[in-house]
Amino acid sequence: MAAPTTLPSALADAVRDESSLRRFLHGLPGVDQVGVEQRAAGLGTRSIKKASKLWAIDTAISMVDLTTLEGADTPGKVRTLAAKARRPDPERPDAPRVAAVCVYPDMVKTAADELKGTGVNVASVATAFPSGRSTMDIKLADTKFAVEQGAAEVDMVIDRGAFLSGRYGLVFDEIVRVKEACGDAHLKVILETGELVTYDNVRRASWLALLAGGDFIKTSTGKVSPAATLPVTHVMLQAVRDWHTLTGERRGVKPAGGIRTTKDAIKYLVAVHEVAGAEWLNNHLFRFGASTLLNDLLMQRRTQTDGHYSGPDYVTVD
């Protein structure tokens, strides 16, 4: 096992070998389940109005990773999505662009051609998404293919089977090697929290991904229910905040799946501000993995700017 970057001594010890890694992960303080759920619910009741709401909506739009991960994806659909990413609300050019378009590796080239020079990144899932059940070579080849095709961000899945059976070293090595294969591309590590069952596991997986060099930790693939929840995102935000305290380095968080309304998105922004800090309120450190969320954000934005409620007839069908 090799540490990806120079780490403070306490963390460097943790990644020396598999047993010290296990010792470190199991030495993390347990998550107070009732406490974190109550705090998440409490922050969710905060009311955001007027100018702050408009700011929150624009910020949330700029954080969206506009995603299409269907077996039925066609080049046409990806191009449509790219057009929407460039100009989410064509009638109101002041609406911000989204952060990235997220597609399967074979669609990366189509998306990259459409988004060249726009500032919107192309993200690609890789490593046998969504199950992660394949050999190392195939996962690495998948990653390299996505990067060659023009992906600036790679969303990998961890091997949950290995994680749940306690083979942390295997998961660690996998993330390290995928990170190498990414080259300059940003790596987002999908923990698939819906399959990790407990908050303690989420905390361990978060630290594991951070230690192995993931630039982002992401909740879910969107293919498993429950996907992103507020308490899980809390635990992950705590991990990146603690990582910053220890190393001075800021890593990102991306909840994905199940966030469909502006109200939900704003709850997440409140959590980011309160748990991680205001420095995380930008699309370099926080993203939403979503597809339908964008339409609701645009409708709510129109409500704020037009002074009356908007409807789904006024945004694109996707």
Partner 1 sequence: MSDRISVAKTYKLYIGGAFPRSESGRSYPVTDSKGAFLANAAQGSRKDARDAVVAARKAFPGWSGATAYNRGQVLYRVAEVLEGRREQFITEVSAAEGVPLKKAQSTVDQAIDRWVWYAGWTDKIAAVLGSANPVAGPYFSFSTPEPTGVVAVLAPQQSSLLGLVSVVAPVVASGNTAVVVTSQDRPLPAITLSEVLATSDLPGGVVNLLTGRTAEIAPWLASHADVNALDLTGAPDSIRADLERSAAGTVKRVLRSRAAEDFTREPDMSRIRAYLETKTVWHPMGV
Tell me how far, at minimum, the Cβ of 261 lies from partner 1, in Å.
10
The angle subtended at Cα 262 by Cα 62 and Cα 40, nearest 5°, is 100
Tell me how far, at minimum, the Cβ of 94 lies from partner 1, in Å.
19
The angle subtended at Cα 144 by Cα 143 and Cα 148, nearest 5°, is 120
The nearer residue to partner 1, 93 or 311, going by C-beta atoms, is: 311
- Annotation marks residue 179 as catalytic: no
Tell me how far, at minimum, the Cβ of 51 lies from partner 1, in Å.
19
Dist. CA 104–CA 126, nearest whole Å:
7
- Annotation marks residue 188 as catalytic: no
Tell me how far, at minimum, the Cβ of 258 lies from partner 1, in Å.
18
Nearest to 263 by CA among 42, 48, 41: 48
Catalog residues that contact partner 1 under the rule CB under 8 A. 302, 307-314
- Annotation marks residue 306 as catalytic: no
How far is the CA of 312 from the CAs of 89, 119, 151, 300, 306, in angstroms? 13, 27, 31, 11, 15
- What is the four-CA torsion angle of 264, 268, 274, 279, rounded to 10 degrees? -140
The nearer residue to partner 1, 184 or 313, going by C-beta atoms, is: 313
The nearer residue to partner 1, 50 or 308, going by C-beta atoms, is: 308
Dist. CA 246–CA 92, nearest whole Å:
43
SS3 166: coil
Nearest to 193 by CA among 36, 20, 15: 36
SS3 109: helix
The nearer residue to partner 1, 117 or 307, going by C-beta atoms, is: 307
Dist. CA 107–CA 169, nearest whole Å:
32
Dist. CA 62–CA 287, nearest whole Å:
8
Determine which one of 84, 139, 179, 218 is catalytic.
218
Tell me how far, at minimum, the Cβ of 313 lies from partner 1, in Å.
7
The nearer residue to partner 1, 174 or 296, going by C-beta atoms, is: 296
Amino acid at 37: E
The nearer residue to partner 1, 221 or 262, going by C-beta atoms, is: 262
Determine which one of 109, 179, 254, 267 is catalytic.
254
Paired tokens of 260: 């469909």
Residues annotated as part of the active site: 155, 218, 254
